[in-house]
Amino acid sequence: MTVPENVRRDYRAAFLRYLPRREEAALHIGYQLGRSAVTDGLSILDLAQVHHEVLLEVLEDTKGEDLTQLATAASEFFLEVLATYDMAQRGFLRET
C-alpha cells in the first residue's frame, strides 16, 4: 500500500494546524482531505496508515503531560477526515 507523498504532506500540515487551537477551519481542511481521498480512490486503510505515521511523528515531540490532549485531538481530526467515507457507506447501505 503506497500513499502518494502529497497526501501525507497535506495531512501532516492540516493536522499540525489543528493541534494548537483545535479550530473548526482546520477541521474543515481535514474534511476536505477526506473528500479528496475518496475522489482519488484512496482507501480507509490508506488514510489510517497516513494518520498513524503522522501521529507517530508528532508523538516524538510531545511532552508526557500533553499526550491525552494530543490523543483526543488526533481522534477528532481523524474522524473528520473519515466523515466522507462514513457518508458514502451509509448511502451505499441504503441502496442495497
- Distance between CA atoms of residues 33 and 14, nearest Å: 9
Q: pTM of this prediction?
A: 0.88
Banded pLDDT at 90 (limits 50, 70, 90): confident
Q: What is the pLDDT of residues 73-89, one digit of tens each?
A: 999 999 999 998 888 87
User: What's the CA gap between 89 and 96, in Å, rounded?
Assistant: 11
Angle between helix 67-95 and 24-39 (nearest 10): 40
Range of the domain at 38: 5-95
For residues 78 and 96, which has the higher predicted lDDT (pLDDT)? 78
- Domains of the chain: total: 1
**HSE-up (13 A, CA, CB side) for residue 92:** 6
| C-alpha cell of residue 7 | 497526501
Place of cell 505515521: 53
Query: Under DSSP, is residue 14 helix (H, G, I), strand (E, B) or coil?
Result: helix
Range list of H helices, 1-96: 5-21, 24-39, 44-60, 67-95
What type of residue is 93? L
Q: What is the pLDDT of residues 1-60, one digit of tens each?
A: 568 899 999 999 999 999 999 999 999 999 999 999 999 999 999 999 999 999 999 999
